[in-house]
Structure 1
Amino acid sequence: MKIKFIGGAGTVTGSKTLVESNGIRILIDCGQFQGIKPLRELNWEPLPILPSSIDFVLLTHGHLDHCGWLPRLVNQGFEGKIYCTSPTKDITKLILLDSAKIQEEEANKANEEHYSKHDIAEPLYTVAQAEKVFPHFRIIKTNEIINLDAEISAVYSNAGHIIGACTIELSLENKTLVFSGDIGRDNDLLVFAPVKPKKADYIFLESTYGNRLHPDTDVMAELEMCINSTVLKGGSIIIPSFAVERAQTVMYLLWLLKEEGKIPNIPYIIDTPMGIKVLDVFSNNRNWHKLPEEQFVAMCKMFTMITDYQETIDTIYNKQPKVVIAASGMITGGRVLSYLEQYIGLPETTVIIIGYQAEGTRGRKLLEGAKEIKIYGRYYDVKANILEIESLSAHADQKGLLNWLSELKAKPKKVFLVHGENQPADELRIKIKEQYGFDCTVPLMGQEIEL
């Protein structure tokens, strides 16, 4: 059996792990690279194997860094099946269509305003190419055995993180391989706690927060203080958010605060068409989350939901204090850029960063104290107050990742730490070795191993 780390090794993006056994090729996730330019450029490179030779894709969940390269895969010849849960299918469709639309729009804008270094800027893929992915989906349920081949089977189990996210247990050649996907938190507000594996010969574990512990702070108190102090100055609060899960979590927290009378009666806006559509995924998959229907309905009524871009423009130029949740979470694209063009230079503005910010993203630069950021070819001075609320992360921290390994009945032969930058992954490797004595390694991008 061969394992090749095509993406998500040494980085938190572009997750792709190839498993090859007895002539069958299985790709675990098919993510898009984000962040620094050398990583983004990898999206344009061909895979080290022909996409047409891949038999199956097993998706852990629907975030762009795990599913965003599927249109390229299909466009380059993949004809197999893509297995995932029902919420993951719905979210992946939304993510891919949104990604394709943004790429088309940005390519057109670059061509119109001539700020691309290329003669003609092109999108990584188009909406039409994204739509060609959809017929390949096959829906599975958790805890059911999927027979991929006479001697290869897979079982999905809940991973927390976002609605529909799963860990995959792959059985082949008398070995059990467990792919964690992204592991959520045991105390997440909206989704259920991740299921811990009981057996594994080899584990492929994410390490996004491998060297960090989430602060044990009162996130509602932080939001309350931030909103009230900003409104007192006459400013607005801009919350760049991942459209899936984080946007809905922030909506729920703000609804709770408003119900308790702790935040003012100002406009509360969600301006992410995809995030609004994700509310339908929550509504249609009630067994996948904790939110009672009556609270869900009341929460939605509190927010002004913007889908039309003209409404975005009108909202931007209305200087009334407001709270705006807008995608994207790492400020790599989407409507949040339009808000930041107008608001990042105002000292009364507060920008709240609520999720992981990959290396090279605007979000990471803001957290690192950047004095200016580049948006659509222009530089803008950063005068707004930049606040990070780490407690809202959808990823397990170092303690959570270690705990996820705690119910294994026998020592695995090896643990591979993927989907993490090098330092967090290596610090987690040391902790796993100290706590459990497991043989643990951090693979390199492009590395191939035999099991």
Structure 2
Amino acid sequence: MKIKFIGGAGTVTGSKTVVESNGVRILIDCGQFQGIKSLRELNWLPLPVQPSTIDFVLLTHGHLDHCGWLPRLVDQGFKGKIYCTSPTKDITKLILLDSAKIQEEEAYKANKEHYSKHEIAEPLYDLKKAEAVFPLFRVIKPNEKIDLDAEISAVFTNAGHIVGACSIELNLENKTVVFSGDIGRDNDILMYPPTKPQKADYVFLESTYGNRLHPETDAKAELEIYINNTIQKGGTVIIPSFAVERAQTIMYLLWQLKTEDRIPNIPYIIDTPMGIKVLDIFENNRRWHKLPEHEYVAMCQMFTMNTDYQETIDTIYNPQPKVIIAASGMITGGRVLSYLERYIGLPETTVIIIGYQAEGTRGRKLLEGDKEIKIYGKQYEVKANILEIEGLSAHGDQKDLVNWLSELQNKPQKVFLVHGEKEAFEELSTKITEKYGFECVIPQMNQEFDI
């Protein structure tokens, strides 16, 4: 069996791992690289493995860094099956259509305003290429064995990260190989705890927060303080948010605060068309999350939901203090950029960062104190108050990741650490080795292992 790391190795984004056994090629996730320019440029390169030779894609969940390269894969010759849960299929469709639309719009804008270094700016893929992915989806049920081949089977189990997210257990060549996907938290506000593996000969474990512990602070109380302080100054609160699950979590916390009369009666706006559509996925997949129906309905009634871009424009130029949830979570694109163009230079504005910010993203740069950020080719001075609520990440922290291995009934031969940055890999490796005595390996991009 050969394992080749063609994404998500040595970095947090672009997750792609090839498993080859007896002439069958399986791709675990097919993510887009995000963050620094050198990573984003990898999205334009051909895979080191011919897409036409890949038989199956197994998709852990629908975030862009795990599914966002599928249109390129299909366009370059992949004709196999894409296995995932029903919510993951629905979320991936939304993510890919949104990604294609944003790329088309940004290419058009770059060409119109001449700020691209390329003579003609082109999108990574367009809507037509995104839609070409959809016929290849095959929906599976969690905890049920799927036979991919006479000698290869897979089982998907709840990962607790977002609705539909799973870890994947592959059984082949008399070995059990487990891919964690992104692991959620044991005490998440909306998601159920991740299912821990019982057996694994090899483990591929995400390491996003491998060197961090989520604070014990009360995220809801922090949100209350930040909002009240901003509104008292007559300012606007902007919360860049991932459209899937984080936006819904923030909505839920804001609804609780409003119900408890802890935040003022001002407009609360969700301005992410995809995030609004994800609410329907929440509604239709109740067994994947903890949110009761009556609270879901009341929560939705509290928010103004912007779907049309003219509504965004009207909101931007409305001087009234307000709270806005807008995608994208790392401020790499989406409608949040339109808000920041107008509000980032106002000292009464508060921007609340609530999720992981990959290296090179605008979100990371703001957290690191950059005094200027570039939006659509123009530099904007940062005068807004930039705050972070760490307790709202959808990723498990170091303790959660180490604990995820706690029910293994055998000692894995190796634990490969993926989907993280250097410090996270190293510290998580030390913790796992100290606690369990497991051998940890930190693979590099395009490295191949025989197992």
TM-score (norm 1): 1.00
AA paired with 2:362?
A: R
The answer for the alignment partner of 1:101 in structure 2 is 101
User: Aligned residue for 1:23?
Assistant: 23
Match of 1:304 in 2: 304
Aligned to 1:83: 83
Q: How many residue pairs are counted as aligned between the two chains?
A: 451
Unpaired stretches in structure 1, ≥5 consecutive residues: none
- Mapping of residues 236-251 of structure 1, within 5 Å: 236-251=236-251
CA distance in 1, matches of 2:249, 2:152: 37
Distance 2:187 2:140 in 1: 26
SS of the aligned residue for 2:190 comes to coil
Cα deviation, residue 287, structure 1: 1.1
For residue 19 of structure 2, give the secondary structure of its aligned residue in structure 1.
strand
Cα displacement string for residues 30-74 of structure 1 (whole angstroms, at most 9, x for unaligned residues): 000000000000000000111000000000000000000000000
Question: Could you list the per-position Cα deviations for residues 335-393 of structure 1 after superposition, in whole angstroms to 9, with x for gaps in the alignment?
Answer: 00000000000000000000000000000000000000000000000000000000000
**1:172 offset after TM fit, Å?**
0.2
Partner of 1:442: 442
- 2:290 counterpart residue number: 290
Matched, 1:71 2:71: yes
Give secondary structure in 2 for the equivalent of 1:84: strand
Equivalences for residues 205-354 of structure 1 within 5 A: 205-354=205-354
How many Å apart are 1:151 and its aligned residue? 0.1
SS in 2 for 1:209: coil
- Give the unaligned 5+ runs of structure 2: none
Distance in structure 2 (CA, Å) of the matches to 1:221 and 1:396: 21
Aligned pairs for 1:42-57 within 5 A? 42-57=42-57
Give the Cα separation in 2 of the matches to 1:286 and 1:404: 24
Q: Equivalents in 1 of 2:226, 2:421: separation in Å?
A: 30
Deviation track 1:383-436 (CA, whole Å, cap 9, x = no partner) reads: 000000000000000001000000001110000000001111111011111111
Deviations 1:89-145 (A, max 9, x none): 000000000000000000000000000000000000000100000000000001100
Q: Which residue of 2 aligns with 1:124?
A: 124
Give the drift of 1:16.
Answer: 0.1
Is residue 390 of structure 1 aligned with residue 404 of structure 2? no
**Per the alignment, in what secondary structure is the counterpart of residue 6 of structure 1?**
strand
Q: CA–CA distance in 1 between the matches of 2:87 and 2:189?
A: 18
Structure 1 match to 2:365: 365
- Alpha-carbon offset, residue 9 of structure 1: 0.4
Tell me, in whole angstroms, the C-alpha distance in 1 between the residues paired with 2:229 and 2:44. Answer: 45
Shift of 1:191: 1.2
User: Residue 5 of structure 1: SS of its match in structure 2?
Assistant: strand
Query: 2: CA distance between counterparts of 1:10 and 1:242?
Result: 23
Counterpart CA distance in 1 for 2:58 and 2:33 is 18
- Between the aligned residues of both structures, percent identity stands at 80
Paired with 2:155 and 2:59, the residues of 1 have a C-alpha distance of 12
For 2:288, give the aligned amino acid.
W
Q: Which amino acid aligns with 1:365?
A: K
Match of 1:3 in 2: 3
- Which AA in structure 2 matches 1:349? T
Superposed CA deviations along residues 124-180 of structure 1, whole A, max 9, x for unmatched, are 000010000000000000110000000000000000010000000000000000000
Give 1:172's aligned residue: 172
Partner Cα separation in structure 2 for residue 443 and residue 427 of structure 1: 15
C-alpha displacement at 1:437, in angstroms?
0.4
Q: Using the TM superposition, give the Cα deviation of residue 189 of structure 1 relative to its aligned residue in structure 2, in angstroms.
A: 1.1
- Paired AA for residue 131 in structure 2: E
CA distance, structure 2, for counterparts of residue 287 and residue 211 of structure 1:
32
Aligned equivalents of 2:187, 2:423: Cα separation in 1 = 26
- Structure 1 residue runs of 4+, over 3 Å off? none
- Mapped partners of 1:174, 1:422: distance in 2: 32
- In structure 2, how many angstroms separate the alpha carbons of the residues matched to 1:396 and 1:10? 19
Q: Which residue identity does 1:358 align to in structure 2?
A: A
Cα distance in 2 for residues equivalent to 1:12 and 1:352: 22
- Residue in 1 aligned with 2:60? 60
CA distance in 1, matches of 2:365, 2:84: 34
One-letter code of the match for 2:431? K
Q: 1:308-341: CA deviations, max 9, x gaps?
A: 0011011000010000000000000000000000
Deviation at 1:254, TM superposition (A): 0.1
The alignment partner of 1:147 has SS state of: strand
SS for the counterpart of 1:100 is helix
Letter in 2 for 1:42: L
- Structure 1 residue matching 2:399: 3-state secondary structure: helix
1:431 aligned residue: 431
Separation in 1, partners of 2:310, 2:442: 47
State how far apart, in whole Å, the 1-side matches of 2:293 and 2:347 are. Answer: 39
Residue 190 of structure 1 and its aligned partner are, at CA, apart by: 0.9
For residues 48 and 442 of structure 2, the distance between their equivalents in structure 1, rounded to whole angstroms, comes to 20
- Please report the TM-score for the alignment, with normalisation by the length of structure 2: 1.00
Q: Does 1:197 align with 2:197?
A: yes
Root-mean-square deviation over aligned CA pairs: 0.4
CA distance in 2, matches of 1:196, 1:223: 31
Q: Deviations over 1:7-43 (max 9, x none)?
A: 0001110000000000000000000000000000000
Q: Aligned AA for 1:304?
A: T
SS in 2 for 1:427: helix
Letter aligned with residue 419 of structure 1: H
Residue type at the aligned position of 2:434: E
Secondary structure, counterpart of 2:107 in structure 1: helix
> Quick one: distance in 2 between partners of 1:118 and 1:364?
26
Matched position secondary structure for 1:224? helix
User: For residues 74 and 12 of structure 2, what CA distance do their matches in structure 1 show?
Assistant: 23
